[in-house]
Amino acid sequence: MFAHASVCVDADVASDCIRELRARTRSPAQEYKASVVLRERNRAALCWLLGPTGPLPGHAHVHLTEKAFFVVGGVVDLLVGGSTDSVEAMAAHLYQQGPGTFGHEPWSAFLAAFNDLMRAKSAADVMTSAGTFFRLVDGLRLGGADGRVGDIMARLSHAEADGDSLLAQLLDTARMDPLRNPLFPAIVHAVGHWGEGGRPVSIIHDVQHALTAERIAHLQEIGATPRTGRLAGVRLVDSRSDPRVQVADLLAGAARRIASDELNGRGDVELLGLLSEYVGHGSIWGDQRSWARLAP
């Protein structure tokens, strides 16, 4: 899974937070990481960070992405299409029924193949990855899937008939569409959270190669709505140079572990209760059992 956190605090507050955590955990680390507060002996420090006496309530937001569900949604959206509601309904059904219908290993291979396809860097890579992906789709479809799952797989398989035009579309999507990377929907939702009512939002973010000038410009275009705020700009920094980025990284790392444990049936009731105060409604999550405990 993927977690992205944003904080709205000034640099002095963030510096004080890091100093307090360092004192509570007795850590000499220069760049403070979530792995420190996630150690069992430092549980009290983590509870302070997330809890009501810490610096984050009202000043932090977490966007969670369950990667398997995210990938399934990408498959259906790109290869089947339709209205947002129909895509979401098909993706949810395939996500819920796919592992049991096909088995864990074939299902994981299907998800991995589509992920590889979306990361293709050239036309040759797209052709190779698309061939692997559609062979897997056909294998699953012919393996006995029936009912609605069988229908969805048939529609995915049918997309291959578009041939060269599909390959061109896949290449353009892999290269240009930032929303196929979970980082970008997370940024869009962060802007929507902090810019509610149409306020402009400027982001300071740790350096990410995926955050190119072209993609940032695209994010500014799709996020400019009166209701959800406007991305005014993104400044990339070394996380060691800005304590606010370090605090956001701490929160994201803690959220990832807490949510992942709950997804895998090892949830911690106390930590879940603390984390849920920050989790955004727009998180991309398919597992209903764990979401019932993670949701704000």
* pLDDT tens for each residue of 207-252: 988 888 888 888 888 765 556 678 999 999 998 899 999 999 999 9
Q: What angle do CA 121, 125, 131 make, to 5 degrees?
A: 140
Instruction: Look at residue 11 in the predicted model and tell me its pLDDT.
Output: 95
Residue 157's SS3 state is: helix
Q: Are strands 200-206 and 60-65 parallel, antiparallel or unpaired?
A: unpaired
Instruction: Look at residue 120 in the predicted model and tell me its pLDDT.
Output: 72
Residue 283 has φ and ψ, to the nearest 5°, of: -55, 150
Instruction: Look at residue 171 in the predicted model and tell me its pLDDT.
Output: 62
Instruction: Look at residue 157 in the predicted model and tell me its pLDDT.
Output: 85
Contact present, 66 and 286 (Cβ < 8 Å):
yes
Instruction: Report the distance separating Cα 242 and Cα 77, nearest Å.
Output: 37
The residue written with tokens 């041939």 in the block is 163
What is the torsional sign of CA 31, 4, 235, 15?
negative
Instruction: Look at residue 204 in the predicted model and tell me its pLDDT.
Output: 96
Instruction: Report the distance separating Cα 215 and Cα 256, nearest Å.
Output: 25
Q: Give pLDDT < 70 ranges for the chain.
A: 30, 144, 161-179, 223-228
Instruction: Look at residue 86 in the predicted model and tell me its pLDDT.
Output: 86
Instruction: Look at residue 199 in the predicted model and tell me its pLDDT.
Output: 87
Instruction: Look at residue 81 in the predicted model and tell me its pLDDT.
Output: 78
Instruction: Look at residue 196 in the predicted model and tell me its pLDDT.
Output: 85
Instruction: Look at residue 5 in the predicted model and tell me its pLDDT.
Output: 98
| pTM strictly above 0.85 | yes
